Amino acid sequence: MHHAEQKQEIPLVLFDKGWYRFARHLASPNFGARPAGTQISLVVIHSISLPPGQFGGDEVQQLFTNTLDWNAHPYFEQIRDTKVSAHFYIRRNGELWQFVSCDDRAWHAGQSSYLGKDNCNDYSVGIEMEGLEGDFFEVAQYESLTSVCAALQQNYPIAHLTGHEHIAPGRKADPGAQFDWHQVRKAL
């Protein structure tokens, strides 16, 4: 008499110390600790392209790692010495990059408020979509976005999803009018 082998299921660990296993990792020096006891409850969607309207280069990665050549394009003079980061960046082809552990505070929201609570960087995860504010985004980007948001919801008490334009009205307008909020909310 023999016993059937018991198949041991190994749980899939999606995050290791706040780093998502399905993203390309490139650590940014632009981050800090979240305030003690902070619940990560918000995802903020942004759009970015450097120079504006140009896609496919490494300028966003360089900006988030303080290695951008400020003299490489006239536009860069406007953002010279800016120290910013986001947790995630989704390229036009859906490729997902991560720059800051979700357990840490990235520098993406700036002066901001959501549902009466200021300093969104303290309690949010920032996701940059490669694109131009107010323009369309690619299907592959929405697929990556909904995948990473679903993973975040499994690992953090995420209760809300919003745009940079909604937490900094009048100051920011991204991701803009063509971002498909309905599709993202339906997928989640």
Res 1 pLDDT > 90: no
Cβ neighbours of 188 (radius 10 Å): 14
- What pLDDT does residue 188 have? 87
Q: Provide the 3-class DSSP secondary structure of residue 17.
A: coil
Q: What is the pLDDT of residues 59-104, one digit of tens each?
A: 999 999 999 999 999 999 999 999 999 999 999 999 999 999 999 9
Q: 1.20.1250.10, 3.40.120.10, 3.40.80.10, 3.60.120.10: which CATH number matches 27-187?
A: 3.40.80.10
Domain range summary for the chain, segments of one domain joined by +: 27-187
Strand 42-48 versus strand 160-163 pairing type = parallel
Res. 18: pLDDT tops 70: yes
144 sits in which H/E element: helix 139-155
Judged against a pLDDT cut of 80, whether residue 170 lies above it is answered with yes
pLDDT at 9: 75
125-137 residue pLDDT tens: 999 999 999 999 9
Entry pTM: 0.94
pLDDT at 6 > cutoff 80: no
Choose the catalytic residue: 59, 128, 133, 165.
128
The reported pLDDT for the residue numbered 2 is: 54
Give me the residue label for tokens 């059937």: 4
> Which pLDDT value is given to residue 4?
55
Query: Is there a catalytic annotation at residue 128?
Result: yes
Q: If you average pLDDT over every residue of the chain, what do you get?
A: 95
Rounded CA-CA distance 171/77 in Å is: 19
